[in-house]
Amino acid sequence: MISLPSKSALDFQSVSFQYYEDSLLACLAASCAASSSSSSSDDHDSTTKLVATNLIAEGRLWEGVQLLCLVGRAADACKYLQSCGRWDESLWLAKCRLEGDELASAARYLYFPY
């Protein structure tokens, strides 16, 4: 569930001049709320993942990938890179950030995408 400050920051339209800044503000607000005793880290992670997904959909692939990596979602970031045809970057990220089954899965899609 997204906290109220995060939700209101995300309510701005993507065409807004400050959409990127507002999105980062939502992540920061969720992070601050998660550090308090009354909120959980899951709120922060879900808010950041939502912001990252929105940024990727808006064509800001690298900003979205960076946010996903910040919250430990490098495997998701690799999938987004692959879906955008950035296979080399996906493999590079996988080799740097993933281990075990996640790494094998990311590499498998590089060689057998279907």
Alpha carbon 62 to its chain's center: 10
Say yes or no to pLDDT of 76 above 90.
Answer: yes
Measured between alpha carbons, how far is 6 from 27 in angstroms, rounded to an integer? 7
The pLDDT > 70 percentage for the chain reads 70
Measured between its terminal Cα atoms, the distance across the chain in Å is: 34
Quick one: pLDDT at residue 36?
Answer: 62
Q: pTM higher than 0.85 for the full model?
A: no
